[in-house]
Amino acid sequence: MKKIVIESAGGYEKLKIKEFPSPTPKEDEVLIEVKYSGINYADCLVRWGVYESAKKYVGWPITPGFEVSGKILAVGKNITNYKVGDLVIGFTLFNGYSSHICIPERHLLPQPQTFNLAQGAAFPAVYMTAYYSLFQIFYLPHKAKILVHSAAGGVGTALTQLAKAKGHVVAGVVGSNNKVQYCKNIGADFVYDKSSPDFKWSQIKTDFPEGFDVVFDANGPTTLKISYDLLRPTGKLAIYGAHSLLPKSGGKINYLKAVIGILKTPKFDPMKLVTDNKSIICFNVSFLFSEDRLIQENLNGLVEMINSGQIKPPHVNIFSFNDVAKAHQFIESGKSTGKLVLEH
């Protein structure tokens, strides 16, 4: 079997394909012959050596990857719901960039009939993140007004689709003009291109004078203050990343830029939060893999939404397994829409 292995922090050159013996499933696991491996922005953070759960749970060397789709080659003795030959989607805490992987039954989904296999591998990480943050953290009022930064990206697409499926109003912010139509196509009611010379944050305030019930922000220091200001009383700021600290090209972190960004990160005074009636919610789902009840509820909810046609298959950019460096370069560039997967 083949895996992409990163031995130490660095640029694209650290992504090395290596051969290993094929793994054997434990009693509650299945062995999957992987057809596609999903790529997430977090995989770049893993490569850079700044992803906390990778440092905590694995260290070096590491094989990134949170999601795969493929065919079951073998099952452990306690497996009841799947058999050899079944097509499945699996999610995993790392190791997804592998040609073969063992995954516990509780972290599998049957491949939906409305998705192809590439779309299957593009599904779990971003949709589970979106489902958790929209429906498991918050109580959302009827027709909640939701602002999504980076709305054309992987998580942004999933947040937009899931929120629209439940009848909420979505305003998406994107960083380039070519993403505007994409966001409209996935259902966003309003789209703001922050790269446009005419763009002003005050335009969003004019369009939403009462403010937002929720703002999803993974930019970090560049937008946190404006995101907070755009909330209505009772509104929540959901912080789940800080990609504005990171490079868009070259594959290496500019530590000076990152430190300056960290120093510029706004501080929120708890007493002001109290009197503003605003909340700040932060999360990282990669630390929640042992929360079986939460995961089960999340998966059941997503499967129900797929089966009822509320979730459309994600838009996918396909790269060959050997081109993993190009895929990292693309997601890092901030130019991608939807998801990226590696084809085996």
Residue 143: C-alpha distances to residues 84, 164, 171, 180 (Å): 44, 9, 12, 22
Residue from the set 32, 126, 159, 170 that interacts with ligand NAP by CB under 6 A: 126
Q: 10 Å Cβ neighbour count for 199?
A: 13
Q: Pick out residues in 41-80 that bind ligand NAP (CB under 6 A).
A: 41-42
- Position 152 contacts ligand NAP (CB under 6 A): yes
Residue from the set 37, 40, 92, 161 that interacts with ligand NAP by CB under 6 A: 40
Residue from the set 116, 136, 265, 284 that interacts with ligand NAP by CB under 6 A: 284
Q: How far apart are CA 299 and CA 260, in angstroms?
A: 39
Residue from the set 111, 219, 227, 329 that interacts with ligand NAP by CB under 6 A: 219
The residue ranges of DSSP E strands in the chain, in sequence order, are 2-5, 16-19, 29-39, 67-75, 87-91, 100-104, 108-110, 145-149, 169-174, 190-193, 212-217, 231-239, 279-282, 316-320, 339-343
Q: How many CA atoms lie within 13 A of 214 on its CB side?
A: 26
- Position 329 contacts ligand NAP (CB under 6 A): no
DSSP-assigned beta bridge partners for residue 236: 214, 279
Taking CB under 6 A as the binding criterion, the range among 236-244, 268-276, 293-301, 317-325 that sits at the site for ligand NAP is 236-244
- Position 161 contacts ligand NAP (CB under 6 A): no
Position closest to ligand NAP via CB: 153
Q: How far apart are CA 102 and CA 96, in angstroms?
A: 10
Is the separation of the CB atoms in 198 and 177 below 8 Å? no
| Residue indicated by tokens 């109580």 | 139
| Least distance from ligand NAP to the Cβ atom of residue 132, Å | 8
Residue from the set 82, 201, 208, 283 that interacts with ligand NAP by CB under 6 A: 283
Residue from the set 3, 243, 328, 344 that interacts with ligand NAP by CB under 6 A: 243
- Position 170 contacts ligand NAP (CB under 6 A): no
- Position 314 contacts ligand NAP (CB under 6 A): no
Residue from the set 38, 65, 120, 156 that interacts with ligand NAP by CB under 6 A: 156
Q: Which amino acid is at 97?
A: Y
**Residues in the site for ligand NAP, rule: CB under 6 A?**
40-42, 126, 129, 149-150, 152-156, 174-175, 179, 218-219, 240-241, 243-244, 246, 248, 283-285, 331, 334, 336
